[in-house]
């Protein structure tokens, strides 16, 4: 009986282990405990916790912020889209306002959904919205887990999706002659802020969120 119990515990530990097993040694810390939204603020009623993932409730959504602020960092996470899903990852954003402008928003989007056929390049998944378009589409099919990394260091922003670099840009250079969407983006001048999810009324799941400050 004791042996069976021990094996059961070991199996549970194995199933819940993070995909990046060496992250703890590299200095990464979890942003999400896999059980509840402790450490998060804002639209906590617009997100659920299911099977170790943060799930955007398609009936509500909204802006879900980390309680802490981050400037230069390396973020790793996984996400899973549903057909037509639209969300975003806000970085260096204050509380309140549209993260795409008061901070920066990295698009999280089902690029291949029919309703997005005519979108601008800077609106595609991984793009720094309105500022830097993603260079390629490296998304896995809808319903599969994607792995994404974001490295923000000063004015340099890098986005890696499923092992492929899709954004590698200096935001100061990219906006020196005006942003490509023609709008004002004061958030590009911020050197610190919250990380947030920008739920736009569709189900998206996030898990294995971890961050290392640089």
pLDDT tens digits along 122-156: 999 999 999 999 999 999 999 999 999 999 999 99
Instruction: Reply yes or no on whether the pLDDT at 16 is more than 60.
Output: no
For residue 138, give the nearest of 149, 154, 129, 130 by alpha carbon. Answer: 149
Q: How many CA atoms lie within 13 A of 25 on its CB side?
A: 3
- Whose structure tokens read 């378009």? 133
Q: How many CB atoms lie within 10 A of CB 14?
A: 8
- Averaged pLDDT, 85-113: 97
Superfamily of domain 22-213: Exo-inulinase; domain 1 (2.60.120.560)
Look at 5-9, 121-125, 158-162 and tell me which has the smallest mean pLDDT: 5-9
Confidence of residue 9 (pLDDT cuts 50, 70, 90): very low
Q: Give Cα separations from 95 to 80, 143, 154, 185, 204 (angstroms).
A: 25, 31, 21, 16, 22
The answer to whether the CB of 168 falls within 8 A of the CB of 158 is: yes
Question: What's the chain's average pLDDT?
Answer: 91
Confidence of residue 22 (pLDDT cuts 50, 70, 90): low
- Averaged pLDDT, 56-62: 95
Model pLDDT, residue 25: 62
Distance, in Å, from the CA atom of 119 to the CA atom of 135, rounded to the nearest integer, reads: 15
Look at 17-21, 36-40, 66-70 and tell me which has the smallest mean pLDDT: 17-21
Q: Check the CA dihedral 92-36-84-201 and report its sign.
A: negative
**How is the chain split into domains, by residue range?**
22-213
Look at 6-10, 88-92, 167-171 and tell me which has the smallest mean pLDDT: 6-10
Confidence of residue 26 (pLDDT cuts 50, 70, 90): confident
Write the DSSP assignment of 51-82 as a string of letters.
TTEEEE-TTS-EEEEESS-BSSEEEEEEEEE-
The percent of residues in the chain predicted with pLDDT above 90, rounded, is 87
The percent of residues in the chain predicted with pLDDT above 70, rounded, is 88
- Averaged pLDDT, 113-129: 97
pTM of the predicted protein model: 0.88
Model pLDDT, residue 193: 98
Distance, in Å, from the CA atom of 100 to the CA atom of 195, rounded to the nearest integer, reads: 12
**Helix and strand element counts for the chain (H, E):** 4, 13
Instruction: Reply yes or no on whether the pLDDT at 181 is more than 90.
Output: yes
């Amino acid at each position: 009986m004791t042996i069976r119990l021990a094996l059961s515990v070991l199996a549970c530990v194995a199933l819940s282990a993070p995909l990046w097993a060496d992250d703890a040694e590299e200095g990464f810390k979890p942003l999400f405990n896999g059980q509840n939204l402790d450490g998060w603020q804002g639209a906590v009623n617009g997100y659920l916790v299911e099977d170790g993932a943060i799930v955007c409730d398609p009936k509500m959504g909204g802006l879900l912020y980390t309680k802490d602020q981050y400037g230069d960092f390396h973020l790793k996470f996984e996400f899973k889209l549903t057909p037509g899903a639209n969300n975003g990852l806000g970085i260096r954003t204050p509380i309140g306002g549209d993260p795409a402008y008061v901070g920066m928003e990295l698009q999280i989007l089902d690029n291949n959904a029919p309703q997005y056929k005519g979108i601008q390049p800077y609106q595609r998944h991984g793009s720094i919205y309105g500022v830097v378009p993603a260079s390629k589409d490296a998304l896995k099919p809808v319903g599969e887990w994607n792995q994404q990394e974001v490295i923000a260091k000063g004015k340099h922003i890098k986005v890696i999706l499923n092992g492929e670099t899709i954004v590698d840009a200096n935001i100061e250079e990219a906006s020196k002659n005006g942003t490509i969407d023609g709008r004002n983006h004061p958030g590009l001048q911020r050197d610190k802020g919250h990380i947030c999810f920008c739920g736009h009324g569709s189900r998206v799941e996030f898990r294995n969120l971890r961050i290392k400050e640089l």
